[in-house]
Amino acid sequence: MKGVYFMSLIDRIILTIYSFCLTVISAFFLLVSLRIIDVDFFWTNMEEYLTRWETISITLVFLVVSIKFLFSGIKRDNLERAIITETSLGQVKISLTAIENCIIKAAKEVSGIKSIKADIKKTQDGICVTLKLKVAPDLNIPDTAKAVQEKIKLYIEKNLGTHIQEIKIFIENISGTGKPRVT
């Protein structure tokens, strides 16, 4: 999908190495605080291996990586809530909430649907939709589910220009077969 931000392989590798290093550093500070490792002994031995400039370099690398992931996390958070497409005139962003409302509208057009809950996940190949439906009794559920899937796919792809990768349907309940109310 053009224009959608996903964490690159290089970012994932850097994040993995970064997380491992932070885990080692955290474990070191835990061992120091429990007095299992003597800090003076550690620094005396480390002075033989690391000079001042090596220490500064490592610290700067950690600082730059931290800032990069901080800003990419903020940027990604905004982009996850919308589908972004590029046109010749600029960017078009459609929020996942808007897509969810369109999905609910399209599904309600199929007869026999009583209530709908939609969950949308954005993927590289489009969007995946999970629907929880309550349907009317005496329906052919497989045919109704297929009709809902086809209606949503056609509606979203035609009106929003967004590819739907998958539509999962879970029939949560059949209307009128719930627990009877005590009066």
Over 80: is that where the pLDDT of 81 sits? no
CB-based burial of residue 164 (10 Å sphere; 0-12 exposed, 13-18 middle, 19+ buried)? buried
User: pLDDT band at residue 1, thresholds of 50, 70 and 90?
Assistant: very low
- Kindly report the CATH number that applies to the domain delimited by 95-174: 3.30.70.1350
Please tell me whether residue 7 adopts helix, strand or coil conformation.
coil
**What's the whole-number mean pLDDT along residues 60-71?**
84
Read off the pTM.
Answer: 0.54
List, in order, residues 6 or more apart from 164 with CB less than 8 Å away. 126, 127, 128, 129, 152, 153, 156, 157
Task: Report pLDDT digits (tens) over 12-57.
Answer: 888 888 889 889 988 988 888 888 888 787 777 777 777 778 878 8
Question: 78 falls in which pLDDT band (50, 70, 90)?
Answer: very low
Helices 52-80 and 9-33: crossing angle, nearest 10°? 120
Cβ proximity of 102 and 158 under 8 Å: no
90 has a pLDDT exceeding 60: yes
Domain boundaries, the chain: 9-80, 95-174
